[in-house]
Amino acid sequence: MALLNQQHSKQLPASVLQPQALPVVQKNHIMHIGIGGFHRAHQAYTWQQLIQSNPEANAAWRITGVCLLPSDKPFVEAFRKQDQLYCLRSCAADGKAETMLINSLQDLLFGPEDAEAILAKIADPATRIISFTITEGGYNVDFEQKKFLLDTAAIAEDLNDTAAPKTVFGFLAKGLQRRKEAGLNGLTLMSCDNIQENGEVLHFALDAYLDAFDPELKAWVAAHVHFPNSMVDRITPVTKLADKDAFEASYGLRDEALIVCEDYFQWVLEDKGLDHIPYLPPFGVEVVSDVRPYESMKLGILNAGHSLVGLIGNALGIYTIHEAVQDPMIARIFTHYAKQEAIPVLQEIKGVSFTTYFEKVKSRFSNAMINDSTARIISGSSDKIPKFLLPITLKQFKQENPQWKATALVIAFWWFYLHQEYAKNELSDILDNRKTALKGIFQQKTNSIDLFMAMEDIFGELGSQKDFYSCYAQYATQLATGDVRAVLSQFLEEV
Ligand code: CS2
């Protein structure tokens, strides 16, 4: 089996869009932490558009990828064997697909082995952007209490400063310290994660780390480093083995880093710290003065909608998002949630119709070509739901006649999912950063409805909203009897 790499990429047929070959540039301008599927579908694709518009002039906008987790090792090894080349297959709902070869990732550094190279890159005068897709949990923040978690084992180790850094914040602090000591210019730190005010959250987390590490550096960061907020969007399922096999069967090459995603793309970026980077709007990036309303729209309709469709679908034994969203009951509940709960509390955006946005999201969800799974959506729910769904509910509670029943229903379905998973098998484990706490609650088998809602780091004050709590508890109790459709019917009759 031949691998897709520099040498073999020449045998790809003309039907695969081929970029111009690029020189390795010693002084490239971008470092990105977290080279998962979303980065490869989104930012790496955008920078490739910029570079290819004028490869001679723009080759320095290639990316140095960084992976920090020891568990990334197999991916790092496989991707290096491919010279960081991969194909991106973007699929429209009507069955049309386009495959393009991406060569914007110039090299790849692996934290556990290349710590010094990562620090040197942060401190390199040529580095202008460090961007991040480290997931909601990667910011190490208790969002409910607005607190950076200084006592996490890896953070505590980095603060001890005895060995090479392990965490994003350990690397940033040491690298920026070098930059400051060398009297260098600042740079732009771009969070590309699904978090409201992601740039500010990154700044907040870094500041909290610096308070404990080197408080003087905090002032330098405030004066020299920019943290634009951004809204990023492209549905990118986990690539399936069957996709890689089909690619190999079509092109005779194995691509272990293949991405299959939707054809839709959106990147809204705050106009802050962008004067030392190329003008991005010709490459599909919307640069605006305030990203927050766009973030709320996307998190509150698309991401929260995903959780709603994924959790209810899963309970009905429907394991793909495109099938789940076409279930008539789920479609009605999603519409109810969007129109009655989410849209009324979103801040207006000039020229954007939230109803049109919602319709588009619904049709994107029904794209069978990307074959997204409910399992991907449900994974990590304890990091996702507080950022996707609960901000809408909290805003609803500030309204005169608050509407929150669909949220209570989704939380009951989340409870039901956990209840079922842990009932299946004592050893069953879910993909979630709070799995230890959740396991403790659900393995007790009694009282989990109450104990779950009492998790303050997830639900905050919501559990003490009496009406909300009893509505959730009633749905959860009914779900436990196993008649999922009956609960959905009752909900639809009530609203
Ligand atoms: C999804 C997101 O993980 C999730 O639950 O909602 O990954 C979603 O697909 C992306 O944010 C789309 O831009």
Give the pLDDT confidence of 272-283 residue by residue, as tens digits: 999 999 999 999
Given the DSSP bridges, would you call strands 30-33 and 63-67 parallel, antiparallel or unpaired? parallel
Question: If you take atom 13 of ligand 1, which residue's CA is the nearest one?
Answer: 233
194 lines ligand 1 (CB under 6 A): yes
Per-residue confidence (pLDDT) for residue 259, from 0 to 100: 98
For residue 363, the CA-to-ligand 1 centroid distance in Å is 15
Tokens of 241: 């083995």
Q: CA geometry: angle at 328 spanning 486 and 363, to 5°?
A: 145
Q: How many helices (H) and strands (E) does the chain have?
A: 24, 14
303 CB less than 6 Å from ligand 1?
A: yes
Kindly tell me the burial class for residue 280, based on how many C-beta atoms sit within 10 Å of its own C-beta (0-12, 13-18, 19 or more).
Answer: middle
Cβ of residue 367 lying under 6 Å from some atom of ligand 1:
no
Residue 214 CA to residue 216 CA, distance in Å, equals 6
Going edge to edge, which strands form the sheet with 266-270?
230-233, 266-270, 285-288
**Per-residue pLDDT reduced to its tens digit, 295-310:** 999 999 999 999 999 9
Q: Which atom of ligand 1 is nearest to the CA of 236?
A: 9
Mean pLDDT along residues 11-21: 96
User: Predicted confidence band at 360 (pLDDT cuts at 50, 70, 90)?
Assistant: very high
Ligand 1 centroid from CA 294, angstroms: 15
What are the backbone angles phi and psi of residue 278, rounded to the nearest 5°? Answer: -60, 160
Residue 23 has pLDDT above 90, yes or no: no
Residue 303 CA to ligand 1 center (angstroms) comes to 6
Percent of the chain with pLDDT strictly greater than 90: 93
Q: Say how many Å lie between the CA of residue 8 and the centre of ligand 1.
A: 33
Please, are residues 378 and 311 in contact by the beta-carbon 8 Å criterion?
yes
Residue nearest atom 10 in ligand 1 by C-alpha distance: 235
- Measuring CA to CA, which residue among 323, 334, 303, 302 is closest to residue 409? 334
Give yes or no for a contact between 206 and 168, defined as CB atoms under 8 angstroms apart. no
pLDDT higher than threshold 70 for residue 17: yes
The pLDDT value given to residue 451: 95
Q: pLDDT (tens digit, 9 = 90+) per residue, 54-92?
A: 999 999 999 999 999 999 999 999 999 999 999 999 999
pLDDT averaged over every residue in the chain: 96
459 pLDDT above the threshold of 90: yes
Between the CA of 306 and the centroid of ligand 1 the distance, in Å, is: 7
**Ligand 1 binding pocket includes 306 (Cβ within 6 Å):** yes
Side-chain-facing half-sphere of 339: CA atoms under 13 Å: 11
The one-character DSSP state at 434 is T
Q: Which atom of ligand 1 is nearest to the CA of 302?
A: 6
Q: How far is CA 235 from CA 45, 180, 203, 393, 450, in A?
A: 14, 38, 26, 24, 34
Which residue has the least CA distance to atom 3 on ligand 1? 377
Give the separation between CA 406 and CA 337, rounded to whole angstroms: 6
Res 444 pLDDT > 80: no
Residue 205's identity, in one-letter code, is A
Place 427 in a pLDDT band, splitting at 50, 70 and 90.
low
- Residue identifier of the C-alpha nearest atom 9 of ligand 1: 235
Kindly state the percentage of the chain with pLDDT values over 70. 99
33 CB near ligand 1 (under 6 Å): no
Measured in whole angstroms, the distance separating CA 238 from the mean position of its chain's CA atoms is 12
DSSP secondary-structure letter at 378? H
Cα 193 to ligand 1 centre (Å): 10
Q: Which helix (H) or strand (E) holds 448?
A: helix 448-453
Six-digit token string for 211: 């308070």
Kindly report, residue by residue over 366-406, the tens digit of the pLDDT.
Answer: 999 999 999 999 999 999 999 999 999 999 999 999 999 99
- pLDDT of 162: 82
> According to the model, what pLDDT value does residue 426 have?
63
User: In ligand 1, which atom is closest to the CA atom of 303?
Assistant: 6
Cβ(121) – ligand 1 distance below 6 Å? no
Q: Which atom of ligand 1 is nearest to the CA of 372?
A: 9
Per-residue pLDDT tens digits for 315-333: 999 999 999 999 999 999 9
Lookup: tokens for 234: 């492209």
Alpha helices, DSSP H, located in 252-389: 292-297, 304-315, 321-325, 328-336, 354-365, 374-378, 381-388
Q: Considering only CA atoms, which residue is closest to atom 6 of ligand 1?
A: 303
Q: Is it the case that residue 445 has pLDDT exceeding 80?
A: no
User: Phi/psi of residue 243, each to 5°?
Assistant: -65, -40
Is 0.90 exceeded by the ipTM? yes
